[in-house]
Structures are given as structure tokens and as C-alpha cells.
Structure 1
Amino acid sequence: MKQKIAALLVKYPFLKWATNRFVLVTLFFIVWLLFFDTYAFYDHQTIDNEIEKLEENRDYFQAEINSDDKNIKKLYRQEEVERYAREKYYMKRENEDIYIIDSDKEYPTEETN
């Protein structure tokens, strides 16, 4: 039996290294940490992607907040309040008519061939 093992070790020298218990334990822990631990590599990738999305959302909403703050500061002036009311709520002054032109509609045009 020992002769067969010795013959195998001579024929395949990596078996001596691969059957070392320290190597096996180290490989076990590496596999464990990569795939099965609560801080596994795949979980880290998923969490990192989620963090990127949340940071993008934070940047977007921060820009929106800054824009809204600028608009609020504008509305402290009476002229801006009047302009905003006329544009958004179609309010009008006395003796004034408002015509709403909807430019979003597409009107079909006839094409001649």
C-alpha cells in the first residue's frame, strides 16, 4: 500500500502538497469566506451596487431640494408670486383673457406623394 502511495506521489508531485492538512484547512476557509459567510464576496457586490443606487438617488434628490429652495426664495417677491400663479394656476387680472395653447398635441398633417 505504501508503495502505491509513493508511486503516486512520484508520478503526481502536487498530491503531496494538496493533501497537506494545512493547505486543506486554508482552502476550506477561503471557500467558506467567499461563498458561505455572512460577509461573502457576492453579498458585498450586491450591497455595493445598492449603495451606488442609493447615492445616485441622494444626489438627485439633493439637486431637487436645491432647485426647490431657489424657487422658494424667488417667491418672496410679489412679482414672482403673481407670475407663478398666472403660469401654473391660470389666474388672471381683471379685464384680461387667457388663451391656453397646448403644444404637446400632435396634429396630423397630410403628406402628398
Structure 2
Amino acid sequence: MISRFFKNLPPYTRNFYFLFTFFFLIWMLFLDSNDVFTQLRLSRKLVDLEAQKEYYLEKIEEVRKDRHELLSDSDLLEKFARERYMMKKPTEDLYIIVAEE
């Protein structure tokens, strides 16, 4: 039965190297843990992570610049503390105005 099946196949498909290569390709393309679909998914994820890295590097540089400005200028530091953390001098009153949406 099996020998009949193999006799009906073209001669090159009965070759050991052809069969080995065919099964190897099927295994690598679909069955392996590093198949094509996984590689494509990981490639897209890498691109997304690199974009996030660029964003965060820009934010870090922006924060460093702001920090340098705040530490070098006492007037700017006072303004920042008043606006951001609502700090005030002991003789002042603080009024917070919330805009309606």
C-alpha cells in the first residue's frame, strides 16, 4: 500500500534530501517556537519599544533641562513651588480658582 503511494510520486519527491528539506521548512515556518509569525510579532513589538524609548529619552532630557533651570534660578524655583505645590509665605493667603468645564 505504502509502496504504491511512493511509486506514484515524482522521482524527486522520493529523494531523502527533498523530504528532509520539506519537513524542515514546514517545521521552521509553522511548528517551531521561533516560527515566522512569532518573528513578525516580535519585530513589530521591537519597533514599538524603540519608539517608546525615543519618547522617554526626550522626556528625560526635558526634565533635566527644567531641573537645571530650577536649581540655577531661585525666582523660577519659587514660582514653580507656588504653582505646582501651592506653597506660600506665612504672611500670604492662597486662593485656588478652579475653572468649570
Fold match (TM-score > 0.5): yes
1:91 maps to 2:92 = no
Shift of 1:62: 0.8
Larger radius of gyration: 1
How far is the alpha carbon of 1:36 from its aligned partner? 2.5
AA partner of residue 56 (structure 1): A
Gaps of 5+ in 1: 10-14, 107-113
Give 5+ residue unaligned stretches, structure 2.
none
1:19-58 per-position Cα deviation (integer Å, ceiling 9, x unaligned): 3323322211111111223432122112212212321221
- Higher helix proportion (structure 1 or 2): 2
Give the TM-score of the pair, scaled to structure 2.
0.73
Q: Over aligned residue pairs, what C-alpha RMSD do you find?
A: 2.6
Q: Secondary structure at the match of 2:10?
A: helix
Which of 16, 20, 34 lines up with 1:39 in the alignment? 34
Q: How many pairs align?
A: 95
Partners of 1:19 and 1:95 lie apart in 2 by: 94
Higher-RCO chain (CA-CA 8 Å, sequence separation at least 6): 2
Identical counterparts, % of pairs: 31
Describe how 1:1-113 pairs up with structure 2 within 5 A. 15-16=9-10, 19-21=13-15, 22-76=17-71, 77-93=73-89, 95-103=91-99, 105-106=100-101
